[in-house]
Structure 1
Amino acid sequence: MTGSLLAGAATGLGALPLLLVRRISAPLQNAFLAFAAGVMLAAAFFSLLLPGLKAAADLGLVQVPAAALVGAAVLLGAATLHLLNAVAPHEHFVAGRHGAQAPAVSRIWLFVIAITLHNVPEGLAVGVSYSASLENGASMALGIGLQNVPEGLAVAAALAAFYPRGTSILVALLTGLVEPVAAAAGLTAVSAAAPLLPWGLGFAAGAMIWVVSSEIIPETHGDERSGLSTAALMLGFVAMMFLDVTLG
C-alpha cells in the first residue's frame, strides 16, 4: 500500500509552501480545491466505474444486471457518506458548522473531521483500484496524490486563518494519512471475496461523487468569481483522465 501512503502524504507536501507565503487568496484556494474535485470526478468514472462494470461482467453478469449492480453500489456509497456527514460534527470553510454536537467541539477538530470525511473515499478508491489491477491502482494513487498537493495547500491556508502555520501544515498532513488506512480496508474487503470487487469500486465512486457534489463544488463556486474554480475543475478532470488512459 505504498502508493496510498504516498498519495496521502502529498497533502502535507502540498501544504509546505505555506511556510514561504503569508496568505493565499480565497479565489486561489477555491481553484486548488476545484482542481481536486475535477480529479476526483475523473477518477470516479475512469478508474472506478468502468473497471467496476468490467468486474461485474467478469462475474458473468450481462449489461443490465452489471449496470444495476454498480449503480446500486454507487448509491450505497453516496448514502453512506451522506449519513456520515449528517452525524459527524464538522465545519466547512464557507458553510460553517454541521453535524450532531458541532457547537461543543473545538473548531480545529471540526476542520479535521471535515477534511477526513473528504479523504476517506479517496483512500478507499485507491485500495479497491489495486484490487482491480496493479496498473489501475497505480494510476489512481498517482491521480489522488496529484490532487492532494493543491488540496493540502488550500486546506492548510484555510486553517492558517485561525491557527499557526506549522499547526496548519501538520493537520493537513495528518488528515491525508487517513487515506492509506481506508485503502487497506478497501483492499482487504474486496480481496477477501472477489464478488465484492464491483461493489467496492462502485461504492468508492459513489462516495467520491457525493463529496464533490455536496461538499467541494458548493464550497468553491459560491461567488461571482467561480469561473476560475470551474476552469480548475475542468483542468483537474482532464489531467486525471490523461493519467488514467496513459498509465492505466
Structure 2
Amino acid sequence: MRVTQAVALGRNGRIFRYLLGGTILFCGGLLLLIQALVLLDQSAQPRLLQALQAGLLCASGTALGALPVLCMGNLSARMRDRLLGFGAGVMLAATVFSLLVPALEVAREQGFSAWGAGALASIGVLLGVVAMHLLGRRLAQRQGEQSLASGLVLFVIAITAHNVPEGMAVGVAAGAGLSGAQGLAIGIALQDMPEGLIVALGLASAGMARGKAVLIGVASGLVEPLFAVLCAWLVGISQLLLPWGLALAAGAMLFVVIHEVVPESQREGHGSEACLALTAGFCLMMVLDTALA
C-alpha cells in the first residue's frame, strides 16, 4: 500500500514538473514570437508594450495573492466566500464598463446603427460564452475519466483557462488604446489577488507541498500577459476586429462569473456576505473605470 502511494506521489510530482516546465517553455517561445512580430511592425510596438505591461500587472496580482500561502493557515469558508464575491463583482463591472460599453461605442463609430451595434455585441458575447462552455465541458469530461493525480493537473489547467479571458480583456483594451485600459488592468490585478490566494490554498489543501502550490498558483497567471499581447496584436492588425474582441472577452468573463465564481461563493452558506462583497467589488471597479478613463 505504501509503495503504491509513493508511486502515485512520484507520478504526481513528475506531472506537475512537466506541466510547469511546459508552461514556461510555451510562454517563453510565444513571447519570442511576439517580439519578432514587434520588430517586423514597429508601429505596433507601443500598444503591444502597453498590453504586456497590463498583462504583467495582472499576473503580479495572482503572484502576490499566492505568496502568503507559504506562511498562513487555512482560509475560513466565510472569508473565502467574501473574496470570491469581491472578485466576481470586479469582473462583472469590468465586463460591463470596460468591455461591453466600449464595444458598443466602437461599433457605432464604425458605422453600425444602434440596433446593429447591439446585435454585434450580443453575438460576440454569445460566442465568448459558448467557447468557455465547451472548454468547461471538455475539462469536466476529462476530469471524470482521470485519476486523482491527473485530476489535479486538470484543476490547474482549468484555473489557467480561467485567466485567459482576463488576459484577453486587458490586451484588447490596450491594443485599441481605450481610455479605460489602465483602470481595467488595475481592477483585474486586484481581483487576481484573492484568486491567486484561493488557488494556492486549494492545491495545498489537496495535499500538495505549499511551495509547489504557490509556484503553480503563480504560473497559472502567466497566460495573462501572453494573451494580452496576442490579442493586442490581433486587434492592431485590423480595427474591424476591435468590437468583436471586446465582446468576446466580455462573454468569456461573464461565463466565468456566472458559472464558476458566483456559485462557488454561495456554496458554504455565506451568500449574503458574498453578495455584499460582490457589490463592493462592482462599485470599486466602476469607480476605477470612471476615474482612470
Structure 1-normalised TM-score? Answer: 0.92
Match of 2:169 in 1: 125
Aligned mates of 1:189, 1:214 — CA distance in 2:
28
Shift of the alpha carbon at 1:134?
5.0
Shift of the alpha carbon at 1:107?
3.1
Match of 1:12 in 2: 63
Query: Does 1:232 pair with 2:283?
Result: no
Task: Please give the residue correspondences for 1:71-220 in structure 2 after superposition, counting only pairs within 5 Å.
Answer: 71-87=122-138, 89=139, 98-100=140-142, 102-104=144-146, 106-133=150-177, 135-162=179-206, 163-220=208-265
Shift of the alpha carbon at 1:101?
5.3
Aligned mates of 2:242, 2:103 — CA distance in 1:
7
Query: Does 1:41 pair with 2:92?
Result: yes
**Across the two proteins, how many residue pairs are aligned to each other?**
239
Q: Which moved more, 1:167-176 or 1:98-107?
A: 98-107
Match of 1:30 among 76, 81, 87: 81
- The letter of the residue matching 2:198 is A
Instruction: Pick closer, same or farther for the CA change 1:226–1:108 going to 2, 3 Å.
Output: same
Deviations 1:190-235 (A, max 9, x none): 1111111000000000100011111111111123222121111111
| Structure with higher helix content | 2
Contact 1:127 1:184 (8 Å CA) reproduced = yes
Q: Which moved more, 1:228-237 or 1:69-78?
A: 228-237
Structure 2-normalised TM-score? Answer: 0.78
Aligned mates of 1:228, 1:155 — CA distance in 2:
21
Aligned mates of 2:213, 2:194 — CA distance in 1:
14
- The letter of the residue matching 2:159 is I
Match of 2:114 in 1: 63
Deviations 1:16-46 (A, max 9, x none): 2222312111221222122111111000000
Instruction: Pick closer, same or farther for the CA change 1:147–1:101 going to 2, 3 Å.
Output: closer
Aligned mates of 2:289, 2:199 — CA distance in 1:
26
Shift of the alpha carbon at 1:244?
0.3
Shift of the alpha carbon at 1:184?
1.7
Contact 1:125 1:183 (8 Å CA) reproduced = yes
Q: Which moved more, 1:112-121 or 1:22-31?
A: 22-31
**Any unmatched runs of 5+ in structure 2?**
1-51
- The letter of the residue matching 1:217 is V
Q: Which moved more, 1:73-82 or 1:23-32?
A: 23-32
Q: Please say which structure displays the higher CA radius of gyration.
A: 2
Match of 2:41 in 1: none
- The letter of the residue matching 2:142 is A
Aligned mates of 1:127, 1:6 — CA distance in 2:
12
Aligned mates of 1:195, 1:160 — CA distance in 2:
45
Aligned mates of 1:153, 1:75 — CA distance in 2:
30
